[in-house]
Amino acid sequence: MPADAQQTLAGPATLEGTSLHTGEKVTLTLQPAPENHGFKFRRVDIADQPFIDADVSKVQTVERATTLAEGSVKVHTVEHVLSALVGMGVDNAIIEMNANEPPIGDGSAGPFVELIKKAGIATQEAPRKTWEIREPLHMETGDGSLITIVPDRKFRVSVTNVGPGGRFAQYFSTEVNPETYENEIARARTFVYYEDVKPLLDKGLIKGGSLENAVVVRGDQVMSKEAVRFDNEFARHKALDVIGDLMLCGKRLLGHVICVKPGHGPNTKMAAKLKEQYSQMRALAAPFEIPRGEAVLDINDVMKLLPHRYPFLMVDRIVDFEGDNKCTGVKNVTINEPFFPGHFPGHPIMPGVLQLEAMAQVSSILMLRKPENAGKIGYFMSSNNVKWRRPVLPGDTLYIQAEMTKARGSIGQTSCRCLVNGEIASEADLKFALVDN
């Protein structure tokens, strides 16, 4: 299991409450989901119980909340529950609702954090897909909002909030992980300015809104059933929204997100920009299509499939495929190999660990033959039943055979052996994972 593996919920958990806009009762259930599933909403109150992907391409409106739509089916105010899932380290989940928006609760993500803790978190086998930002990204809107994402080995958010007329200027910055999210971000409540919501109240909208689920600002006064939870609660809630909205790009990020006057509009525009850049980056390296029939892959073909290069590329060519389950590669061992001068120089022997590496590389090529795995790379995860039976010497031709014994999603297991002149030199059972390149 990789050190940074994907996570889902250990079981279902249900929350009941009132929806913000209609004031109606709504039941929300978080359900586990398989690896690489991501987040999907499901409207269980509709006959065919349709799904809506939590994806920026589904964003319909961003006025005071983020709304997703698939055809005529909509889900409103998705940012709080998505933020909680991301902040608490969940990668895959189904969010079922019997109405078009989640319960508003107290206007924070706190109730969803408690729901996630109630469900529990289960670790999955596939490695987590995280995009590390390598070049700064910047976006500005005409109303003074700006978002910049700069490289960072952690996921960090820094927010400057400035209200109308410069009121309630606040700043908040933190690394985002489950501990900081639960303690520093989740409890920050949504806030509104009275002059913005009064027209909606007059029209009978936001029927579920009250001083119990939002902080209302009237002039310079804060109106709330409860005192502010933090002296910079507004900036913290903006960070909460940013985390949920940016996840609509489809990737967890490693980077420092710096925002001034963020909102759902700028947030989702940045999510779209992130998704577009990621797609362009992936398009630069078109995946090499492995032939479906009998074929020989020369060294140039091998290098299109494997990221390894001298001195760690251990496969010179692929000489045989047997269906989708068997593959044979060749390594020509010469006295000029870089490891011979330091590995028993008076009696040169190919290191056993490099034979193991050769088996892993051929196994990766075998797994990459599946069309759904095109363009990915293989990470060696574990080895069992490893045996070395005879030395491999300069001048030997090493035949590396791999047979797929188990494949589930991006995880594969193979039974491998290296042969010289028809004799087994080494053998092992390997486990590896394929991840996006």
Query: Do 311 and 169 lie in a common domain?
Result: no
With 0-12 CB in 10 A as exposed, 13-18 as middle and 19+ as buried, what is 220?
A: exposed
Asked if pLDDT for residue 114 goes beyond 50, the answer is yes
- Please, which pLDDT band fits residue 301 given cuts at 50, 70 and 90? confident
Q: pLDDT band at 208, cuts 50/70/90?
A: very low
> What gap in Å lies between CA 111 and CA 117, rounded to an integer?
10
Query: In terms of domains, do 89 and 222 share one?
Result: yes
Crossing angle of the two packed helices 233-246 and 264-283, in degrees rounded to 10: 30
Report the range out of 168-177, 197-206, 364-373, 402-411 with the highest average pLDDT. 168-177
Please give the pLDDT value at position 285: 44
Threshold 0.85, pTM exceeds: no
Residue 318 has pLDDT above 70, yes or no: yes
Name 327's bridge partners: 321, 402
Q: Is residue 294 part of a domain?
A: no
Owner of token pair 């319960």: 103
Tally DSSP H helices, then E strands, for the chain.
8, 25
Q: Let me know whether 272 and 310 are in one domain.
A: no
- Whole-number percent of the chain with pLDDT over 70: 89
Quick count: other Cβ atoms within 10 Å of Cβ 417?
18
- Are residues 270 and 313 both part of a single domain? no
Residue 161's alpha-carbon distances to 168, 173, 256, 396, in angstroms, are: 7, 11, 17, 68
Backbone angles phi, psi at 230, to 5 degrees: -140, 150
Based on the fold, state whether residues 248 and 373 are members of the same structural domain.
no
Q: How many CA atoms lie within 13 A of 372 on its CB side?
A: 7
CATH number of the domain enclosing 370: 3.10.129.10
**Residue 293 domain-assigned (yes or no):** no
Catalytic residues: 264, 343
Is residue 1 over pLDDT 60?
Answer: no
Average pLDDT, stretch 119-137?
A: 91
Q: Is residue 201 in some structural domain?
A: yes
In a domain, 291, yes or no: no
CATH number for the domain spanning 125: value is 3.30.230.20
- Give the residue, 93 or 217, on which the prediction is more confident: 93
Pair 235, 160 in one domain? yes
Local confidence band at 218 (pLDDT 50, 70, 90 cut-offs): confident
pLDDT score recorded for residue 436: 76
Q: What is the domain extent for residue 426? A: 299-436
pLDDT at 212 over 70: no
Q: Are residues 320 and 195 in the same domain?
A: no
Q: What percentage of the chain exceeds 90 in pLDDT? A: 61
Phi and psi at 325, nearest 5°, equal -115, -10
Does residue 290 belong to any structural domain of this protein?
no
If asked whether residues 275 and 303 sit together in one domain, one would say no
Domain-terminating residue out of 250, 283, 316: 283
Structural domains in the chain (count): 2
Task: Tell whether 155 and 106 lie within a shared domain.
Answer: yes
Residue owning tokens 């060294």: 299
Asked if residue 118 and residue 44 are part of one domain, the reply reads yes
Question: Is residue 203, in this structure, part of any structural domain at all?
Answer: yes
DSSP 284-352: TSPPPPPPSSS--B-HHHHHHH----TTS---SEEEEEETTTEEEEEEE--TT-TTTTTSSTTS----H
Contacts of 254 (CB under 8 A, 6+ apart): 130, 131, 132, 133, 152, 153, 154, 155
Note whether 178 and 208 are same-domain residues: yes
- Residue ending a domain, among 255, 283, 311, is 283
Each residue's pLDDT tens digit, 334-360? 999 998 888 888 889 999 999 999 999
Q: Do 248 and 390 reside in the same domain of the chain?
A: no
- Residue 96: inside a domain: yes
Inform me whether the pLDDT recorded for 331 exceeds 60.
Answer: yes
Domain end (from 236, 252, 283):
283
